[in-house]
Amino acid sequence: MGKIVIRVPATSANLGPGFDSLGVALHLYLTVIVEEKTERWRVNHALGPDVPTDEQNLIVQSALKVNPNLQPHQLTVMSDIPVARGLGSSSTAVVAGVKIANELGEMDLTLADQVTAAAKIEGHPDNVAPALLGDVVVADYDGETATTVKLAMPEGLKMLAFIKNQPLLTSESRNVLSKELPRKQAIIGSSVANVMIAALATNNWQLVTHMMERDQFHETARTKLVPELPMIRETAHQFGIYGTYLSGAGPTIGTFGTEPQLIVLRQKLMDLDVKGSLRIFDIDRQGATVNAE
């Protein structure tokens, strides 16, 4: 067998009120090349000393959870995705592992099976589902099975990502969330999310962007960790741009718009000297790919 090249897109989750269930795939990739069989798993990468180079690597761990009988191989890993920034870096590793297990184990898993396998490892489906399917995906995971609906973001839409210089671990960001929500707030949060998804499904993008900014589940609590969120949102509103939200657990902040809109917004934020990088991403429409060489 020759090499297998697996490419998995970064993802941005929640999109406001779609907490733990909504995500979009972005043009920013983890690439894993599966090379020759080896005595032990070897993972070549230039991602720094914190990322294991043996079977402790999350990609290998994920592959072995799906299929414990895999023969070890050498992997070469390249990634454009910043770690612990709310762009699904760990989810891409999990998805790559699922794809490796499926290929090397000749398992013939359907895409639905792959989403469920990845959600089992990750614990929630909001990043792994769009990483596998592409575009924007609504997903549910009940602890046993993941259920997904793939929708389409409007053509010509891009995302401006404000990526903070400091990482923010999901575990730390989860700790600021309250364990319970008052029933009234939960109903409002649920109805906002329902309307946003319905608007997305019926191509009412203007309504989507307004609902996107009315989250009740997590953004208010997390703003103390990412105080730039209201500032970027208000700056975008000055240009008539709606659709700013906290990506995943943060600290990345996403704003959807057309390229001309986002170029203007990016320049204004640069003038305000925000501390982080500002990058415009296309939406990935196809999700993870596997190619044999």
Known binding residues for ATP are 82-92
Nearest-angstrom CA–CA distance, 291 and 29: 15
Q: Which residues pair with 159 in a beta bridge?
A: 256, 281
For residue 67 the two structure tokens come to 């299929």
Nearest-angstrom CA–CA distance, 104 and 29: 21
- What three-state secondary structure class fits 172? helix
Position 185: which residue type? Answer: Q
Binding residues: 82-92
Q: Is the four-CA dihedral 180, 183, 185, 187 of positive or negative sign?
A: positive
Crossing angle of helices 259-271 and 228-238, in 10° steps, is 120
Nearest-angstrom CA–CA distance, 12 and 204: 20
Output the CA angle 272-278-283, nearest 5 degrees.
Answer: 140
C-alpha to C-alpha distances, 244 to 61, 78, 167, 199, 231, nearest whole angstrom: 35, 29, 20, 16, 10
Query: Strand 158-164 relative to strand 276-281: parallel, antiparallel, unpaired?
Result: antiparallel
For residue 165 the two structure tokens come to 């210089």
Q: Is 91 left (phi over 0), alpha (psi -120 to 50) or beta?
A: alpha
- What's the residue count for the chain? 293
Nearest-angstrom CA–CA distance, 198 and 157: 18
